[in-house]
Amino acid sequence: MNSQQYEELCRYFLSDKLGINVDQIKSGHMHNPTRPGLPEYKHQIDLYWKTENELIKYLHIVNAKWRGNNKVKKGEVELLQYVKQQVSAHKALMLTTQGFTSGALAVAKDKGIALHIVKLNFDVSILPQSDRSTIQAKLQEIASTSNKPVFLNEVVHKAFDFREISPQSQIPRGVFGAPSYQTKVVSGHGMKVVGGFSNKAGPGGTVTKSGGFGKTK
């Protein structure tokens, strides 16, 4: 199996798990934010898709690592986290064939990156070696005629549930008469609950006005 075949297998895997068309899962480059006077450059993204609802847009990125023998290492997960920050992605996944080192798993748990092992579940010799559309078409043909799954999947680190990032789960409910909401903390983003406001002086003598926040030094 080559890297192009593996990326198409991962595209099919994501399409199947998310319940979206493979055409919605793109491959390409994204611009890195730059400061005035500095040269521009891009990040190559193996797979990505965007979803949105009435309130917000989401970007999800995937690094598909085909490996013959070696496991994905710590530095590779760190690089994915860096790219996630640079392109302002909400979620990141690392997919590979051979697993992850203990260091890679530690970084993924700290940064909220999902890790999955995804493998082909049939003889790769019947899969075209090049042209993404031809490879994808063959995968879908095999899936429609075989009595077994096209891929094998093992969850190594479930940073989030696929239902959290599927378009169907991002349709907001009505405000009135809706069941109680549960606030979820999105991986990689901190959130604090602020209690009752006070006009008392805070540390350093700062006084808040009208229930607002005081300035910090």
CATH assignment of the domain containing 14 = 3.40.1350
Q: How many domains does the chain have?
A: 1
Query: What pLDDT is stored for residue 38 in this prediction?
Result: 86
> Is residue 86 a part of any domain in this protein?
yes
> Is residue 117 a part of any domain in this protein?
yes
> Is residue 21 a part of any domain in this protein?
yes
> Is residue 44 a part of any domain in this protein?
yes
Question: What's the predicted TM-score (pTM) here?
Answer: 0.72
Q: At what angle do helices 3-18 and 132-145 cross, to 10 degrees?
A: 50
In tens, the pLDDT along 155-198 reads 999 986 666 555 554 444 333 333 443 444 444 444 444 444 44
- Owning domain of residue 102: 3-28+40-170
> Is residue 201 a part of any domain in this protein?
no
Give 49-80 as a DSSP string: EEEE-SS-EEEEEEEEE--SSPPBPHHHHHHH
Residue 50 predicted with pLDDT over 70: yes
> Is residue 210 a part of any domain in this protein?
no
> Is residue 214 a part of any domain in this protein?
no
Residue 135 predicted with pLDDT over 70: yes
Query: What pLDDT is stored for residue 28 in this prediction?
Result: 94
In tens, the pLDDT along 83-120 reads 999 999 999 999 999 999 999 999 999 999 999 999 99
> What angle is formed at CA 209 by the lines to CA 203 and CA 212, rounded to 5 degrees?
80
Query: What pLDDT is stored for residue 164 in this prediction?
Result: 58
Question: Which backbone phi and psi does 80 adopt, to 5 degrees?
Answer: -65, -40
- 183-192 own/partner pairs: CB under 8 Å, 24+ apart: 186/90, 186/112, 187/91, 187/111, 187/112, 187/113, 187/159, 187/160, 188/84, 188/111, 188/112
